[in-house]
A and B are shown apart, each in its own frame.
Chain A
Amino acid sequence: MEIVTISLEMSGPEASRKYIEAASPEHPSLLDPGHLIDSLFGVVNIPNVVWIDEQGMIVRPAEPGWPGGRAEMPKAMMTSMPKMGRAPRAPEPPPDGPGMIGLLGSGQNRKTYPDAIRDWVQHGADSEFALTPEQVVERSQPRPISMSEGAAHFELANHLWLDDKRDRAISHFNESHRLQPDNWTYKRQAWSLLGNERVGGDFGRWVQAPLVGEEDAWPFDSDFGSDVAMLEAGEYYPKTL
């Protein structure tokens, strides 16, 4: 089995380089600045995994998955993150949510996911985890035409950001988020661009919200903390396995 990693980062290869080189992979490590695999496969988050058999048929459509088991945040990140505020236009979070750690840890089971992959490697089409073509299509992400519109706005945002037309780009990012509210790659990408600029360093890209005191200078309609707070347990990484 070949693992192909795909980085959904629009800033160019340097943003991804140190992680790819640290992993020293023998497998293909590709760059997808336009998040095209979202449109091609129905990817909506990171990490998402797609299983493809020897004949080029998808046997599991895009879903949350961890081929290597648990992914841990670097310890240094937790202590070096600045205090984040909320986007001024973000909705008020419900009072009794599970909290971010609870939300990110619920749904798809990270610990057992690699076992399912191993089962498929061993048993192929006979694996209980390999789906029929009809099931694969049925289980792939819904796409009403508003999704297509969201993807179009995201690509325009990408294009215009790189052309330094930032106000137009941000307007299109906000539209893409409105039209594809379940697409976390579109959201996190956009928010991380400003976090990286304003905070920088090793973990600036993980700052996906305004800093406390800078809320009025945040041009996006929401932020990571605010959007995640609107979810119920299991909604961020839905259980599909």
Chain B
Amino acid sequence: MRRRPRPSDTRSPYIANVAAMYCSVMIVDTLDITAEQFAAGTGWVIKPEGACRADVCVPLYNGGTFDAASTAERLRMAVVHDEQAGLWAIGPESLGDRALVSAEAPDFTLGNLDGNMFRLSSLRGQKVLLVSWAPY
């Protein structure tokens, strides 16, 4: 079940904790976050060769210091600021102008009714059919 947001901690950035391990949209109350926090929120890991996810790496020309805003820009992630709410949302990457960068299924973790987390890659070795639905 989705947790209600907690109040901002002045010492560390508030990062919305959502049910998916691979959150492709991050909500933060400051863009001053570390590479590790960025990776945990977006699935893009910062390596010497750049920002990497699955079999794709995008070079970052930032002299080795991580900066979320410029990294988001390189990954073509929209950054939306709600000044009134004091929040930023970092959107998913839009490389190659397609939803999929690679045919490799992005791994994700989502919860079930009991709150148990389920990881897509646990089904490796079987054919899988993902089916979206909704109670509306």
**B77 proximity list for chain A (CB < 8 A):** 148
The contact string, 1 if C-beta is below 8 Å from chain A, for chain B 1-41, is 11011000000000010111011110100000000000000
**A65 proximity list for chain B (CB < 8 A):** 131
**B5 proximity list for chain A (CB < 8 A):** 159, 162-163
Tell me if A145 is interfacial: C-beta within 8 Å of chain B: yes
Report the separation of the CA atoms of residues A15 and B136 in the bound assembly, to the nearest whole angstrom: 10
A42 touches B99 (CB 8 A): yes
Given that A137-B101, A205-B135 are contacting pairs, would A162 and B82 also be in contact in the complex, using a CB cutoff of 8 Å?
no
Report the contact-size class of chain B (Cβ under 8 Å from the partner).
35 or more
* CB contacts between A and B, total, < 8 Å: 266
Q: Which of A47-55, A82-90, A211-219, A230-238 contacts B (4 or more CB under 8 A)?
A: A47-55
A137 touches B103 (CB 8 A): yes
Given that A61-B99, A133-B103, A143-B99 are contacting pairs, would A155 and B132 also be in contact in the complex, using a CB cutoff of 8 Å?
no
Q: From residue 107 to 165 of chain A, which have CB atoms closer than 8 A to chain B?
A: 117, 120-121, 124, 132-134, 136-138, 140-156, 159-160, 162-163, 165
Q: Could you list some 13 contacts between A and B, CB below 8 A?
A: A1-B128, A2-B129, A6-B130, A17-B113, A39-B92, A42-B98, A52-B120, A137-B103, A156-B27, A156-B82, A156-B89, A159-B27, A160-B85
Q: Which residues of B contact A (CB under 8 A)?
A: 1-2, 4-5, 16, 18-20, 22-25, 27, 76-80, 82, 84-85, 87, 89-94, 96-108, 110-113, 115, 118, 120-121, 123-136
